[in-house]
Amino acid sequence: MRLLRRIGGRIESESAVSSDAGGHRAGAGHSTAPPCSEAALVEAPGASSRSVQRAGLVTGGGAVSRPLGVKSLDSPGAALLDHRMSILLSTPDVDGLEAVVRALAEWQYEGAPLQLHSGDIGWYWQFGPERTAEAVRTWSRRGRILGVGLLDGPDLVRLAIDPKEREDEALARRMAEDLTRPDRGVLPADEGSVEALWKGRFREVLREEGWEPDDPWVPMIRDLSEPVEACGLRIEVAGPERVEDRVAVHRGAFTGSKFSAARWRAVAAGPVYADARCLIGYDDRGDAVAGTTVWSAGPGRIGMLEPLGVHGDHQGRGHGRAIAVAAAAALRDMGASSATVCAEGSNTAAVATYRAAGFLPRPAVPDLRRIGRQPG
């Protein structure tokens, strides 16, 4: 869950799968406003939404079949399979993204850990379906997806796991091995970072293998069982007629952003956007001052804000809190049980803004980082 660095941002680049592309992390890479302003809110480079098409299948005798929608990572016609654990690491083709989105959405239930969301895939769709598929990794057993990764930059993978599998030793060790070995096609050899926001065996295995804590992130959540208060801004749902306002707010909030009307249209044309809304907040003078995109995982499930930003010319006036409240209201209207975002731990302004909007922080969770490790 990050925005200009990944539950919201990462540093944007035309060539990297990152920045305006990725998760629901709030805080990094916001704008030029001073660090203690509300400005550094969220550009979560996320993705978008999520039929179940199985990601992999082991046939009798240990041979691997390659179902529709799946490409192997090592060579055409073969898949990276650890026969001992029968867990398949693969990257989907465009057709296979539907199953990935479905799995991520199904894992967004109350009581589950806050982690990579189907909306992260939806926001990433701005780079097109082919590039989105290339940035995704899945781990599956007997055709069932157990884990999903989004390559949200050249050295960062953001992960989600089936909450029921958090203590699965074989899955934890296979995922850790795949992240540690550059020949598996997930992270590079020199260094890499992992976002895994859940407690469980996987993080323990990485620590045992020498991965170190990195930047902490604060998952934040707002319960939507009760009506949401008025936000104080005029809120409009962005469509083709308001796309220029949506783009202007985004670029004004995130310094150096290359977000464009064409990218917005790509997001809106993606299948995940069927469960999303782009919101624009207007002040009493009619200026577009803030914007966000909200992503539902379906009725009764956890929704996500990503990205969220306040235009640099209008920061420091409470618009960040207002657009976050509007996002919560929109998600409640869409049937979400709660709304979530993930703020960079060092960005106290972002954490305070979301608190003011009714989002309660959960304990901070650091990324895990490997520097210059080579497989033995």
pLDDT digits (tens, 9 = 90+) for 20-54: 443 445 543 333 333 333 332 333 333 333 222 22
- To the nearest whole number, what is the mean pLDDT of the chain? 82
**Quick one: tokens of 141?**
């057993």
Is 57-216+367-371 in the same CATH topology as 19-46+223-365? yes
Class of domain 19-46+223-365: alpha beta
Residue 70 pLDDT:
52
Residue 371 CA: distances (Å) to CA of 145, 155, 374: 29, 10, 9
Q: Is the pLDDT of residue 281 over 80?
A: yes
Residue 72 pLDDT:
52
Query: 57-216+367-371 is classed in which CATH architecture?
Result: 3-Layer(aba) Sandwich (3.40)
Q: What is the mean pLDDT of residues 87-113?
A: 96
Residue 190 pLDDT:
82
Determine the Cα–Cα distance for residues 268 and 173; give it in Å rounded to an integer. Answer: 37
Residue 189 pLDDT:
85
Q: Is the pLDDT of residue 88 over 90?
A: yes
The radius of gyration of the chain from alpha carbons, rounded to an integer in Å, stands at 19
The reported pTM is 0.80
Listed by start position, the domains of the chain span 19-46+223-365, 57-216+367-371
Contacts of 111 by beta carbon, 8 Å cutoff, 6+ apart = none
Longest Cα–Cα distance of the chain, Å, equals: 70
Determine the Cα–Cα distance for residues 98 and 55; give it in Å rounded to an integer. Answer: 10
For residue 90, what pLDDT band results from cuts at 50, 70 and 90? very high
